Structures are given as C-alpha cells and as structure tokens.
Structure 1
Amino acid sequence: MNFEIYPFEKLNELLEGITPNNEYELSSLTIGEPQFETPQFIQDELKATTLLLKKYPASAGIPELKESMINFVFKRFNVSLNNEQIIPTFGTREVLFNFPQFALFDKKNPIMAFTNPFYQIYEGAAIASRAEVIHINLDESNNFKANLSDEELRKCDLVVLNYPNNPTSAVMSIDELAIWVKKALEFDFILINDECYSEIFFDEAIKPPSLLEASVKAGNSEFKNVLVMNSISKRSSAPGLRSGFIAGDETILKEYMKYRTYVGCASPVPLQKAAAVAWNDEKHVEGFRQIYKQNFEIAKEILGINPPKATFYIWLKVDDELQFTKDLYKEKSIKVLPGSFLGRENAGQGYVRIALVENAKKTKEVLQRLKDFLDG
C-alpha cells in the first residue's frame, strides 16, 4: 500500500532548517487537539473503574456506553435509535479507516468519493480498499459545500461527507443534507457523514444538523444506506478516551459488527465507563463551547474575520500558503498548517488552517503576533 505521509510530517519537512524567532514562545496552531484538561468527573470515573482492567472488553461495547450514546443522539438531534442502529467504536479514526474496507470488499472495482480538502484517513481508507477516488472539491465557488453530478453519483459505492467541515469550517443545512440522503437512495450508495465537530458550535439557535436528522426529514426513518460517525474527543476534550460511534442503517451495521469482532479494537472497560458519563453530560460541553466562542470573538477583534458556525478552525486565505507558513514560523515563531497539505488537485491552495484550541489569554497573544505579521 502506498500511503501519503501525514500533513504534520509534511509540515516538519517544510520547516526543516528554518530557525524560529526566539523572541517569542513557539506556538503551534496546527493540530485539532483541545488543549484543556479533561473534566474531573470523567477522570474520576476512569480512576474508580480501573479494577475492570481484568476483564476483556466486548466488541459491542458495555450496555451503559451504548445507552449513553443513544441518549446523546436523542437529546441533541431528536432522533431515536435502537441498540442495533449504533455501535461504539475506538474513536472514529479506526472506523473511518476500516469501515470502507469492509463495505467495499465485495466490489470488483470500488469507487469511493469524499470531500476535498479532507481528513487524510479518508484517502488512506480508499487506498487500503483499492478504491478509485472521486474528490468532492470544496472551494469558495460552492461555499465549501459538497456537491457531485448525478453522473458521478451513479458510479459511487461509498461517499464520505464531513460536516461541520474540517478544515473549512463550513456547515450544511438539514435540507442540503436531505438531498444527499435522497441521492444515496436513488443511486444506491452508502452515505457517511463524519460529524466529529457537531458539538463545537456557537449559536444555540443554529446547531449543526446530523445526517440522521436529514434522513428522517427525507422520509428515510430506517436510515437505509445512511451512517454517521461521531466522537467524544472534541466535545469533551478527551481524545485519549478513544470513544466514538457509528450509527444508522441497521442492516449494514449487523454485518459490520461481525467484522469488528475480528478486528480486535474494543475499548478497555474503564475507558468505556468514563466515556459513558461524558456522553451523558452536556454541562461540560457548554463550558468548552464558551471557550471556543470567546476565542473566535478574539479572532474577530484582532484579525477581522467572521467566526464560523462550527468547529474551532480558521480557514485563512493567503497568497502562497507554503511561503506564508515558512515566513510566519521564522518571523513570529507560529506554526500553521498549509491548506494544500490537506487536499489534492489544488484543493486547499491559498489557505492555511489555524486551530484555536488554547485558552483565551494565549489565543490573544498568538493572534496578535499573527496580525503583526499580516500587517508587516
């Protein structure tokens, strides 16, 4: 298998030999990893359940974890799921990688489409599945919203969307997602939405919708051909818990569950216990949302940017993203991620991704440095 190196490795190569300005503390705004303590009540549950390390974890997940995830989906999206319509996973990276291999295994010449620029695991999954790729190119002309022609959709076996979107921060409406659901039924392909940023939003009146909601609105209440994935990592500042799920089409998930028993990626029981209390609680999530909202208010004040509706990313337009990244690192000791490292076929060119995952004080200081660089 010929995998591309990850964007962060490309960044290290790009910056190799460049000495950052030692007048400033080195600041990395590259990775989407919240820099906040995991809430104490989650840590306490993990500590209290370490005796359960003596047990082998079940691939299907402990009942209270599955129940907490079902509760989350109902409270957040007003969608009712049964136990056969959801599977706890070891985060979402593993399922995003191995589900396409499962789903496309019996296809003679599989074709997989995904948003571009993208989270690189989508491309890795396509390579591992020996799938031909159709890129769903996102740019200013389409407001970074996914669209493919009917001719392209007829070819597809599997389509992966990512809304709210990494890296562009774009959000698709429930009506726009419902069109995708109808296309998945019309052309009989599996449709996935990677919803890992669904809980990082800033207006209670305009919450990002789930593809599950859109499926119900489209008259597909059984979620035929429709799946979503979500994770606790961003929501609860707990990426180390590796707690995610895949939910939707019961028929597909029944066979996928058989596959997972062979994969051996069940989460340890103490992690599942801690994740269950996290999925069941909303108060701590609201607290994190306020931090990110404040960071974007700071960004608006300093950089004059309009805050996105969701995610914690700034998708900043620049002239030459590679030169910009090198010069910013050298002059202001700030690391950002070139957009072209996240895309193919020129997607992401002319942009850098900036992750606002620090506290307000640090965010303000670093963004002021960035502003000075932009003004220089």
Structure 2
Amino acid sequence: MNPLLDTLKPYPFARLRAALKDIPAPAGIAPVPLHIGEPKHPAPKIITDALTAALSGLEKYSMTNGLPELRQACANWAKRRYDGLQLDPETEILPVLGSREALFSFTQVVLDPTSDGPKPIVISPNPFYQVYEGATLLGGGEIYFTNNRPPRFTPDWKNIPEDIWQRTKMVFICSPDNPSGSVMQLDEWAELFAMQDRYGFVIASDECYSEIYFQGRKPIGCLQAAAQLGRSNKGIVMFTSLSKRSNVPGLRSGFVAGDAALLHAFSLYRTYHGSAMSLPIQYASIAAWNDEEHVIENRRLYQEKFDKVLPILQQAFDVRLPEASFYIWLPVPDGDDLAFARNLWQKAAIQVLPGRFFARDTPQGNPGKGYVRIALVADIETCVKAAETIVSLYRGS
C-alpha cells in the first residue's frame, strides 16, 4: 500500500458524524442537512434535454481534450463572463470531470516527489477545501496553512516565513472562498502576483462558486485579474465547474484554463489517468456553458433565501451577506462551534458544520473555531424554519 495514504486526515463530514454519533436527534423530526454544500435546485431542462439527446455517444470513446465545440463554448463563456478575456480553446482550456477531480490531479502534475532535498511546499488558505491537503500529501509534498484573517477571511500572505516561500511550488486560492464567501479583490491579486514573480510558484485558483453572487457584484477571476494588470497567464490555472453554477453536481463537469504549458502537461497526465469526459456529458456541458438564463434564475433563488434568512439570524447573531457563494459563516457568540453544532442536532436535528473541522490547528490557532458553516441549499421554507429554530434555541440556552 502507498504509505502516503496514512497521512490523510478524516474529511470534515466524517468528523461531524463521529461528533454526533452518540447524540440522539429528537424523535419524529427529520434531519435538516445544512452542513453539505450540495445544490438542491432542479437541474435545468436545457441541460437534461441535451444530455438525453446525446446518449448514443455512450457507444464511443472520447478524447481527453474534449470536443472542439466544448472547448469553444468554455472560451466563449469566459470571454462573456470576464470582460473580454481571450483564451485559446486549443491550448488554454481543458475539460475536466469537475473541479475537485482536477484540483487533485493537477497537484500531482506540479509536484516533483523525486527531487532531492526538502519536500516541495503547497500553501493553502485555512479554513480550506480538504482536497488541497490530500492532493499535496499524496503528491509527496508538504502543506503549509496560512490563516484567513477576519472579518473577510482572506489569506495572510505577509506572515508566511521567507524559508517557506522559497520552497513553495504551488499556492491554492479559493475565491469566492469556501466557507466564508469572501472574494479576492484586484489589489489582493496584485499582491499575490508580486509574490509569484519573486518566488516562481504556480497559482491554482479554485473558482467553483464564482457564479453565486449578489447585487450584480461579479467576483473577479484570477485570469481576469492578470489581464487587467497587464500580465500573461503564465503559472496561473483557473478551475471552474458546472456543479454550483448550473445545479448539476452529478454531471461531474468543469474546465481548467490558463497557462498553455501547464495544461499541456496536465493533458498528458490525464490521458494516462483515463479522465476523458463522455460525449453525452460534453454535449450537456456545451448547452450549460452557452446558456445564462438558468444561472440568473439560480442566483435569484439564493438571493431570496439570504433575503429571508439573514434578518432572522441577525436577531441573535453578528452575521452578514457573503460576498459570494451560498454559505453563511456564522460566528458563535460563546466561541464553541462544536458545542453549538451538537446542540442543534440534539434539540432540532439540524446539521451544521463546525468551523474547526474545516481548518487545521496552527501556531496562530485554528481560524475556524468559533464559527459554523451553514449551507443554504435546501428549499426556502426549510432554510427559514431552520433559521428560526437556531435563533430560538440560542436565545433559550
């Protein structure tokens, strides 16, 4: 067995199950799962129709790089979405089986586990999406966490030691951030690009929540920021997905874009890895990237939930509308996020994710402690009722 498997840590949801296993939920109350960020809005008909119309494609093998029409649809979407961003669909776009799969496998391409000397370092925000850590460890690297700073929970680049930067091969960015919903601004991108110029690392930008935003404030993407700052996309790769944008997490479809040399190497890896997207999924993806009406409706539904849920929670908690994403990063007044989550489960069968499970302990502390993540993915009635229950339980405790 690969000994690096022993370095992996339990996923946050496994930790939550362990924390709740000996606590019975109230009898007769159905669980209210607000801990997992799985979209629940219906899959758009334009996508399901395209999928079923292409089922004969199951009889054929597909190419790793995907159909030219799919790569062009991705390039067209990026141009519309990111203010005229120009990407070459032949060399700067690669379809992938969802952003999670791509984030993991791309890390294996970037890291060199055969090099002599200290392990290569990958820097991750903290709290973080756990795939960043698992990909790094299984790639033979070392993960370094930089704590996100409240109130916006953005990475603290200035406090990373010089010796860490010198060994850094890649930096993960999550913008919009999971779990806080914060968005990297242009000046923050400029700061990171300056560090990249100095130390030569790769930037892997996870942007799977980019289309869940409010009040017309579109999150800026890494490639868009580079273009606005007069930079090339050398050393930069963006990861995006249809899962959140189009409510099709089961489709397992997204694309990566950026540095052509990095994508060429990534394509080679994926050819051996067997990561080609089936033809029906490709045609469904073309339909999805070419349509914005369902995305606009999706945002409207999330906005409606926030409009109804936030005023309720604000009766008892210091909580705000996130800059993007469908998460509420709720500060727990007494600071004990784990006790808060256990209490919600025991008294109301409501599941939320303790922030400490979404982060790692560092010398500066665990930045997730004192927060819980609430995913507003259920229907609006369920979300409103859960918010009312949370406020009632907190006030009654």
TM-score greater than 0.5 by the shorter chain: yes
Confirm or deny: 8 A CA contact 1:200 1:234 kept in the other structure.
yes
Q: Write the mapping of 1:16-55 to structure 2, written as runs, cut at 5 A.
A: 16-22=21-27, 24-55=29-60
Of 317, 327, 334, the residue aligned with 1:313 is 327
1:228-255 CA-to-partner distances (Å, cap 9, x unmatched) read 1000000000011111111111111112
Partner of 2:76 in structure 1? 71
Change in 2 beyond 3 A, CA 1:90/1:16 = same
Q: Write the mapping of 1:293-372 to structure 2, written as runs, cut at 5 A.
A: 293-304=303-314, 305-318=319-332, 319-345=335-361, 346-372=366-392
Confirm or deny: 8 A CA contact 1:112 1:131 kept in the other structure.
yes
Confirm or deny: 8 A CA contact 1:194 1:228 kept in the other structure.
yes
**Does residue 1:153 correspond to 2:165, yes or no?**
yes
**Does residue 1:285 correspond to 2:295, yes or no?**
yes
**Does residue 1:191 correspond to 2:191, yes or no?**
no
Partner of 1:265 in structure 2? 275
Q: For residues 6 and 273 of structure 1, what CA distance do their matches in structure 2 show? A: 33
Confirm or deny: 8 A CA contact 2:147 2:367 kept in the other structure.
yes
Opposite residue 66 of structure 1, the aligned amino acid is R
Q: For residues 87 and 52 of structure 1, what CA distance do their matches in structure 2 show? A: 20
Q: How many residues align?
A: 373
Q: For residues 138 and 105 of structure 2, what CA distance do their matches in structure 1 show? A: 9
Partner of 2:224 in structure 1? 213
Helix, strand or coil: the match of 2:157? coil
Which blocks of at least 5 consecutive residues in structure 2 are unaligned?
none
**256-265 vs 101-110, which moves further:** 101-110
Opposite residue 200 of structure 2, the aligned amino acid is D
Of 204, 222, 230, the residue aligned with 2:240 is 230
Helix, strand or coil: the match of 1:344? coil
**Does residue 1:9 correspond to 2:29, yes or no?**
no
Q: For residues 198 and 234 of structure 2, what CA distance do their matches in structure 1 show? A: 11
Confirm or deny: 8 A CA contact 2:96 2:255 kept in the other structure.
yes
Change in 2 beyond 3 A, CA 1:107/1:89 = farther
Confirm or deny: 8 A CA contact 2:172 2:205 kept in the other structure.
yes
Q: For residues 310 and 353 of structure 2, what CA distance do their matches in structure 1 show? A: 20
Opposite residue 204 of structure 2, the aligned amino acid is I
Cα offset, 1:155, TM superposition: 2.7
Confirm or deny: 8 A CA contact 2:180 2:329 kept in the other structure.
yes
Opposite residue 172 of structure 2, the aligned amino acid is V
Cα offset, 1:288, TM superposition: 0.6
**Does residue 1:96 correspond to 2:103, yes or no?**
yes
Confirm or deny: 8 A CA contact 2:109 2:265 kept in the other structure.
no
1:308-339 CA-to-partner distances (Å, cap 9, x unmatched) read 12000011111211111111101111000111
Q: For residues 29 and 54 of structure 1, what CA distance do their matches in structure 2 show? A: 39
Partner of 1:60 in structure 2? 65
Change in 2 beyond 3 A, CA 1:228/1:277 = same
Helix, strand or coil: the match of 2:124? strand
Q: Write the mapping of 1:161-176 to structure 2, written as runs, cut at 5 A.
A: 161-176=173-188
1:66-122 CA-to-partner distances (Å, cap 9, x unmatched) read 111111111000211002011110101111111111111254421110111111000
**19-28 vs 348-357, which moves further:** 19-28
Identity rate, percent? 38
Aligned-CA RMSD value: 1.4
Opposite residue 157 of structure 1, the aligned amino acid is K
Cα offset, 1:147, TM superposition: 2.7
**Does residue 1:203 correspond to 2:208, yes or no?**
no
Q: For residues 137 and 301 of structure 1, what CA distance do their matches in structure 2 show? A: 29
Q: For residues 230 and 70 of structure 2, what CA distance do their matches in structure 1 show? A: 29
Opposite residue 147 of structure 1, the aligned amino acid is D
Helix, strand or coil: the match of 2:183? coil
Q: For residues 115 and 65 of structure 2, what CA distance do their matches in structure 1 show? A: 26
Q: Write the mapping of 1:134-145 to structure 2, written as runs, cut at 5 A.
A: 134-140=144-150, 143-145=152-154
Helix, strand or coil: the match of 1:265? coil
Helix, strand or coil: the match of 1:157? strand
Cα offset, 1:156, TM superposition: 1.0
Opposite residue 81 of structure 1, the aligned amino acid is L
Cα offset, 1:17, TM superposition: 2.0
Q: For residues 74 and 186 of structure 2, what CA distance do their matches in structure 1 show? A: 21
1:334-359 CA-to-partner distances (Å, cap 9, x unmatched) read 00011111110113111110000122
Confirm or deny: 8 A CA contact 2:58 2:278 kept in the other structure.
yes
Partner of 1:181 in structure 2? 193
Helix, strand or coil: the match of 1:60? coil
Runs of 4+ in 1 over 3 A off after TM superposition: none
